[in-house]
Structure 1
Amino acid sequence: MNKIIIITGATSGFGKAAAEKFAAEKWNCIITGRREEQLHAFADELRTKYHVRVLSLVFDVQQRDQVFAHLGNLPEEWRQVDVLLNNAGLALGREHIDQGDPDDWDTMIDTNVKGLLYVTRAVLPYLTARRQGHIINLGSVAGKDVYENGNVYCASKAAVDTLSHAMRIDLLQHSIKVSAIHPGAAKTEFASVRFKGDEDKAAQTYKGFEPLSAEDVAGIIYYTASLPAHICINDLVVTCTAQADGIYFFKQ
């Protein structure tokens, strides 16, 4: 019987690459996202290419009612969830705190922190009922090292780091694994979203070094999810070779 993974934010970046990787390994996938047309088209692609079952759910993780309406009421045949990948997240803006846009702050906190909490709470009953399962939270090196103009984004990812630790402790009694994976610079839509479509600024983010790819991170996620039941990778920071941590890079 194929295993089941839930992946939030599956229309781009790490989420999309992870869905591709797990489907290729014959996992059935529940994929979520806000972009309806893209999400359903991607679901069709996965079904055709890998011959797995795919359930695509269109909602915004920021909206608590939507999260619980969709994930809290999964069809019976989809409730044997093995892995939850809390991937949905974003950065908006790159300004000093005194110049920051409070609307951007709300979006980052509502997505990166509250959205993760809503999704986890909606899915946990399926895991606790079986006394097994694995939650993988996508953090960032920005949650480990604060950098100039990172302020609220760094704070939101530091919250993911702390929440992952707290979940790991609280869910020990249910034999549920919790892993946090913290990627460094990776070439996805991240920079384009952060700079609100300014592709020149986005391109500068990765100039002078080879960043991680979404596929690199997806492979690490799959490895983390595929270990034997008695092994849990608790906390993993992964960067490209040119990056020492959240701040220091070697650029040509």
Structure 2
Amino acid sequence: MSVFRVVVTGASSGIGAATVRAFRAAGWEVLGVARREDRLRELAEETGASVFVADLTVQSDVDALRDHVEATGPVHALVNNAGGAKGLESVEASSVEDWAWMFEVNVLALKRVTSALLPLIRRGATERGVGDVVNVTSIAGHTAYVGGGGYNAAKFAAHALTAVLRLELSGEPLRVIEVAPGMVKTEEFALVRFGGDRARADAVYDDVPEPLVAEDVAEVIVDAVTKPRHVDLDLVVVKPVAQSAPHLVAKGALAVRTPDGD
């Protein structure tokens, strides 16, 4: 049986690290990519994955990643997971620097890596029969919400990029898959968003019954990539049952309502 290989960005924590673990459990070779070498080394020791240290907002790092991938064997799938949010201020009051950072990591890094690795994925598709590009976006890329500001804008852009790429690749044996998570409780997302304020980050999840965890999203990603080659999950929106929309999250235990609404 052939062994396939996937590149996973943002692999040092959260959804990225969980995705590395999930692909390894499914028998895939994995190259995990992130900036933090210490985290990557720990993940490699735990899972047997290969790792590569790169800042995906730096073109020379992305070029080095491409050269490394090409030199070390075929690649059959790419999971563009690197991203993040900063701030929850209004459009008027928010920081332009925060917006620039969000566009760099959520949009431009995605474009850089996709452009660099797509030719290699084409080659892998010849062997496997299909190649995959999975872009991990967010429900923030589909529904605006108060305080979303730059994160909404960046993830809407990532959603649009994904849709255009799918059109551009029409006729090729390549699947372009968007996985758009809702509320996912990870160790860092909210902490980064609130500038390291642990109390504020933890409060996001207070009294929310069973928010998603990184492993839930990783399972969806692996399932999409391992579908039969003629099956394409263009868009998968995955939210906890407690979250109806970005701005509407139930607090406390979920309970069935009686017909009269009580």
Report deviation, 1:92.
0.6
Alignment correspondent of 1:243 = 243
Match of 1:85 among 69, 76, 79: 79
Report deviation, 1:218.
0.7
The answer on whether the counterparts of 2:69 and 2:75 sit within 8 Å (CA) in structure 1 is: no
Report deviation, 1:42.
1.2
Alignment correspondent of 1:211 = 211
Matched, 1:74 2:69: yes
Aligned CA-pair RMSD? 1.2
Query: TM-score scaled to structure 2, two decimals?
Result: 0.90
SS in 1 for 2:249: coil
Report deviation, 1:232.
0.3
Report deviation, 1:106.
1.1
The answer on whether the counterparts of 2:24 and 2:47 sit within 8 Å (CA) in structure 1 is: yes
Alignment correspondent of 2:96 = 102
Matched, 1:24 2:2: no
What per-residue deviation string (whole Å, max 9, x for no partner) do you get for residues 48-88 of structure 1?
xxxxxx3211111111121112224424342x211100000
Separation in 2, partners of 1:66, 1:241: 39
Report deviation, 1:158.
0.6
The answer on whether the counterparts of 2:13 and 2:39 sit within 8 Å (CA) in structure 1 is: no
Match of 2:166 among 154, 165, 168: 168
Identical pairs, percent: 35
Q: Which amino acid aligns with 1:85?
A: V
Q: Which amino acid aligns with 1:197?
A: G
The answer on whether the counterparts of 2:185 and 2:205 sit within 8 Å (CA) in structure 1 is: yes
5+ long unaligned stretches in structure 2? 253-262
Separation in 1, partners of 2:158, 2:214: 20
Separation in 2, partners of 1:203, 1:44: 29
Matched, 1:118 2:112: yes
The answer on whether the counterparts of 1:144 and 1:246 sit within 8 Å (CA) in structure 2 is: no
What per-residue deviation string (whole Å, max 9, x for no partner) do you get for residues 120-162 of structure 1?
0010111223453100000101111111111110111111111
SS in 2 for 1:39: helix
Separation in 2, partners of 1:215, 1:3: 21
The answer on whether the counterparts of 1:96 and 1:148 sit within 8 Å (CA) in structure 2 is: yes
What per-residue deviation string (whole Å, max 9, x for no partner) do you get for residues 188-247 of structure 1?
121011111111111111112121000111111111111000000001111000111222
SS in 2 for 1:221: helix
> Of the two, which has the highest radius of gyration?
2
5+ long unaligned stretches in structure 1? 48-53
The answer on whether the counterparts of 1:72 and 1:122 sit within 8 Å (CA) in structure 2 is: no
Alignment correspondent of 1:59 = 54
Separation in 2, partners of 1:171, 1:77: 25
Dislocated runs of 4+, deviation >4 Å: none
Query: TM-score scaled to structure 1, two decimals?
Result: 0.94
The count of aligned residue pairs is: 245
Separation in 1, partners of 2:238, 2:248: 14
SS in 1 for 2:165: helix
